Structure 1
């Protein structure tokens, strides 16, 4: 798998001709979804987070010489198997499926979510999905091996990444790869009127 380059997140808005893409971050509670998104969007490490909050981030990203608007929905982990989650999947264009390298059970949750995505998307095999193992810096607590991830990457036909939001390791690569897959799958970007609805109190990074 080719290693995607770095992206740059900027504050520029209102640019004509820039295509918009929506990404949904899914996974069990406590696996580090929000820390991953915050490291990417603001380059900070989130020590504490309210797991019941859903947040939406609106970023302008420059990658491979092109700018895109990337809407990232960071879902609450307690919702991953509910009807609310089905709405996210129906409207999402790409998905980051997150598990913790220190918790093998969270990888089984990701498998369940992966199957749910294919079911809701009508069995589409080219749905843009990237699978992410977090907390790779906690080597002494690790329960999921790199070999296990390599085998699943072949079995599922999906890219896997090991990351550390705390250290900033490989976080940009995750979203760059997903953006590249979304650009290929949806060359015209997000259809008009096809946006996630924000709730009061959600954070939008511009």
Structure 2
């Protein structure tokens, strides 16, 4: 069983904790029941561990929920350093959280030696009438970042399972793990080190 440490980054109040503990399907996210808390309680750091099925193969993920407030910026490099994959989150109902995404992306680029594996998430898409950031803006930013993009709702919970499975697939692809048995792929061609070109997929 492959294991991944996933760090959730984003400004305070975007719903990082709700995404970290949420799941839409008990048959897939084995360790936790469905959870959504409407009360905002700022997090410094929490870890949530769960076993999930991705492409009919189980994997273990540890989700690190981090503080987004700037007073905890000194801890950000540590969280990034320890993460293998990243969920970069903003709230579609807050322009300010969208504008601050570059801060968290720059932290990843500064700390990680290799290009980080991450997905861009526009959370709280259930708040249709409070929307301040359009879906098209999220898509455009994901293209500029070179990553995948989803809009989610921890409340409904739209696309939450897809968020985790998409990131795990990307991590497996980066590690070169075969979908069938978890063994590393034999890479040939594609330039030095068998590197492949990455593509951006938007859902």
Please give the TM-score of this superposition, normalised by the length of structure 2. 0.78
Counterpart selection for 2:112 from 110, 121, 134? 121
Q: CA deviation at 1:55?
A: 1.2
Q: CA deviation at 1:186?
A: 2.7
Q: CA deviation at 1:91?
A: 1.1
Counterpart selection for 1:112 from 86, 99, 103? 103
Kindly tell me: are residues 24 and 98 of structure 1, through their superposed partners in 2, closer, same or farther at Cα, counting changes over 3 Å? same
- Which residue number in structure 1 is paired with residue 127 of structure 2? 138
In the alignment, does 2:34 pair up with 1:43?
yes
- Which residue number in structure 2 is paired with residue 25 of structure 1? 8
TM alignment of 1:54-133, pairs within 5 A: 54-78=45-69, 82-122=73-113, 124-125=114-115, 127-133=116-122
d(CA) in 2 for partners of 1:52, 1:34:
8
1:48 aligns to what SS in structure 2?
Answer: coil
d(CA) in 2 for partners of 1:129, 1:158:
7
Q: CA deviation at 1:44?
A: 1.7
TM alignment of 1:137-156, pairs within 5 A: 137-156=126-145
- Which residue number in structure 1 is paired with residue 174 of structure 2? 185
The total of aligned residue pairs comes to: 170
Q: CA deviation at 1:52?
A: 3.4
Deviates most, 93-102 or 61-70: 61-70
d(CA) in 2 for partners of 1:42, 1:50:
20
In the alignment, does 2:147 pair up with 1:164?
no
Please, what is the CA RMSD of the aligned residues? 1.8
d(CA) in 1 for partners of 2:71, 2:164:
20
Structure 2 spans left out of the alignment, 5+ residues: 24-31, 183-203
Q: CA deviation at 1:88?
A: 0.8
In the alignment, does 2:43 pair up with 1:52?
yes
1:169 aligns to what SS in structure 2?
Answer: coil
